Each structure stands twice: as structure tokens, then as C-alpha cells.
Amino acid sequence: MNEETYAVDKKPVIDAPSLEDGEKPPSKKELEPFGNEETAEVKYRTMKWWHCGMLMISENVSVGILSLPSAVATLGMVPAAIMIVFISALSWYTGYVIGQFKLRHPEIHSMGDAGELLMGRFGREFLGIGQLLLLIFLMASNIVTFNILMNVLTDHGTCTLVFGVVGLVICFLGALPRTMEKVYWMSVASFLSIFVVVIIAMIAMGVESKGHVPIQATTDVSFREGFLAVTNIIFAYLAHVAYFGFMSETEDPRTFNKSLAMLQIIDTVLYLVSALIIYRYAGPSVQSPAINSLGTLMSKIAWGLAIPTTILSGVVLGHVACKYIYVRMFRGSDKMHQRSFLSIGSWVAICLGVWVVSWVVAESIPVFNDLLSLISALFGSWFSFGFPAIFWLHMNYGQYFRNTAKTFLTVVNLGVLAISCAICGLGLYVSGVAIHEDSSSSSWSCASNV
């Protein structure tokens, strides 16, 4: 690759620092989070675009895909299909904007870095903490899912806390590789796992279907139930929080659009086909996740095949969370490119600490799923939709109405920003009501959580 910056127009990538006489301006490689790696012992920018795409798929597509048939049952087939396609298109566009923002500012590695560019130190800490919180709660949800999975497979063979510790240890071991390229192979296994589970669920649902199943093109549903179903669809597209980190470890960030297309095409096709077919054969009584609607034997087989995706999708999320802390600690230093005791020991300690916190969260919160929805509404809606719109407005400041195309895109991004505000506000409302009405109190309990 050449030394040119990844600017998308003639503006400089960042404000040019003052230079001493004879001093050369920093190159693109020196601006990036991992600096110039030409002589580095451990290199991070090694991924091809398909590596990045598979990591994004693994982060996005997991057991949560099997909650979509219940959303179809709530909304009806036509509204649900329209929402899936619309949210996919919106997610694709905002992902593209994030990619352009990264090319304009190659020094960005996380949402925290983007926040610093927009709002200074406050923005850096606010968005950085928000990103870390969202990732930790998503990681904790993987541990909760692992607990459910093991309770189903073993008929609650032992204390649920024991299953949680087993999940913690496995996820921690999976998080030990320091580079995304090595995590890539885990993402392949994760995708194959959920793909096989979805195929088996669709086939088994059709085989077990007993006669005519009533299905509805549209339904008469309350606003709260309808919006909760819509949030299930929205949350299936909340991978944006990791895009800056993934781009930072690709050989050429300009290939990110290929990775994004790979993600959006594969996940949207899977979401549409699996949600509609499973609903067609399971009907309005389909459970969430849908494999719980299968017979006992097939349900256990499906849960068993879902073990890799349950664990490895969490490993990908955990890697992003750990890498955020690691880069914050060693940015500008050669230590993260070394295989020294300090470098390796710090990475292991960060991984252990982050996963232990996630495990504590998973075991401590009685209304965990409701609180996860609360955190997702508060941060996920902004990271995936709101902030990308703000990034576009920042990149095009002063040119909003320069011509017809700019005017159209300005209106589009203001609309995206409004959608993000609506998702956040309404999501906080329905999550707050659900938390208020939930009477669960099984934190730190050996009882089955199935």
C-alpha cells in the first residue's frame, strides 16, 4: 500500500501538526492506531476483507436470529418482512458512513476515539464507556444463553452457577489470541454452527408441523408489544460498535465496503428466510428462541449444535472490548507489538478481568434480558444509527445544501438521527415498563434458568 491518506475528498485527514524544519509529516501508517508495523514483532493489520466480513457476521448472527420468528408472529408476515428489509438498508447505509468516517480519520480505533474528535475528552470517555458497557452486557448475554443451553442439554444436571463458570473459562481461553486474524477462524466456526442450527430448525419445524397452521399477514397488536417486536429486529443489526476496530486491523481499510456488503447480504437473507419459514410452520405460538418450539429430542440436538456460536460470538465481542482497553493502555508504544511478559501478561489480565465482569453481570441481574434491552436502547441505537448520522453531518459541515444531492443526503441523515432518537426514547420506555413488571429474583441461584 502507498503512503497516501485515506481522505475521501481534498480536506486533510486531521489537523496538521506543526513541524520542525526538515521534519516530514506523519504518514497514514503512523496515524493509524497500531502505527507503522513494517518491523513490528506482532502485526495487527493483517486481515483481508473477507476476514473482516466473517468477523462482522459472527458478531451479528448468533442464537438471537431464532428470536425473529416470534417477532413475525407479533407483527404479521408482511410488516415483519418490511421491517427486516428497511432496518437492513438503514444499517447498511450507516455502516457505509462509519467506513467513510474511518477513511477520513485513520487514527480512529473505537467509538471513544470518534467521540474525542466530536466532543473532546468528554466525548472520548462517554462514548468509550458506552461502547465498553454495551459489549460487556452483550458478552454477559452469551453467558446467560450458555447457561440456558446447558440446562436444556443436561436437564438441569447441576447448579446453573457451575455452568456459568464453565462458560466463563471457555470464553476467556478463546479470547487469548491478540490479533483479529486468529479470531477469524473462530468466527467461521460460529457462523457454520448457527447456519446448521437454522437449517435444522426449519426442516424439523416443517416435519413436526401438524396439519394446517394459522398464519397472519398482519396482526392487531398493542403499541408496546409491537415495538418490542421491532426492537428484536433492530437489535439483530447492532454490530456497528465494532466496525472501527475491525477496519483498524485490515490490510486496506478501503475494502471495508466489500466486508459490509458480505455482512448485510448474508444476514438479511438468513433473517428473512428463517423467520418467515419457521413462523409458517410453527404459527403464532412460536417461542423465542424458536428451537424451544421443537420436540424434546430435536430441541436438544439444535441446542447442542448451537454451542460453538453461543461461545464464539461472545469471544468476538470480548475481543473487541479487550482490544479497546489494550490500545488505550499502549497506544503510541511498541509494547503492544512485542511478545514480552508485560505485553502478553497485560492482554491476559485484561481478558480475564473483562470476562469476569461479564460473568458477574450475568449472574447478578434478575431481569437481565430487560436490562440488556435497556442498555441496547440507550447505546446500541446511537452507535448503529445516531452517531453515524452525526459523523456524516460532521464530515459535510458547511456543505449541507451545496447541491441537490447534498440536500437530499442531509435530509436522509437528519431522518436517521430522528429514527435513532425514537428508538432510544421508545426503547427506554418499553424496557422500563418491562423491568417494573418483571418479578424475577433468581440472581446467583442454582435454579434452572430455562
What tens digit of pLDDT does each residue of 411-433 get? 999 999 999 999 899 888 887 77
Q: Please check the confidence at residue 365 and state whether its pLDDT lies above 90.
A: no
Q: What is the pTM of this model?
A: 0.88
Q: Please check the confidence at residue 156 and state whether its pLDDT lies above 80.
A: yes
Q: Please check the confidence at residue 83 and state whether its pLDDT lies above 70.
A: yes
Q: Please check the confidence at residue 27 and state whether its pLDDT lies above 60.
A: no
Q: Please check the confidence at residue 391 and state whether its pLDDT lies above 80.
A: yes
Average pLDDT, the chain: 86
How large is the average pLDDT for residues 275-294?
A: 90
- Band of residue 440 on the pLDDT scale cut at 50, 70, 90: low
Q: Could you state, in order of their start, the residue ranges of all structural domains in the chain?
A: 40-365
What's the confidence (pLDDT) of residue 371? 65
What's the confidence (pLDDT) of residue 368? 59
The 3-state secondary structure of the chain reads CCCCCCCCCCCCCCCCCCCCCCCCCCCHHHHCCCCCCCCCCCCCCCECHHHHHHHHHHHHCCHHHHHHHHHHHHHCHHHHHHHHHHHHHHHHHHHHHHHHHHHHCCCCCCHHHHHHHHHHHHHHHHHHHHHHHHHHHHHHHHHHHHHHHHHHHHCCCCCHHHHHHHHHHHHHHHCCCCCHHHHHHHHHHHHHHHHHHHHHHHHHHHHHCCCCCCCCCCCCCCHHHHHHHHHHHHHHHCCHHHHHHHHHCECCHHHHHHHHHHHHHHHHHHHHHHHHHHHHHHHHHCCCCHHHHCCHHHHHHHHHHCHHHHHHHHHHHHHHHHHHHHHHHHCCCCHHHCCCHHHHHHHHHHHHHHHHHHHHHHHHCCCHHHHHHHHHHHHHHHHHHHHHHHHHHHHCCCCCCCCHHHHHHHHHHHHHHHHHHHHHHHHHHHHHHHHHHCCCCCCCCCCCCC
Q: Which CATH architecture has domain 40-365?
A: Orthogonal Bundle (1.10)
What's the confidence (pLDDT) of residue 369? 61
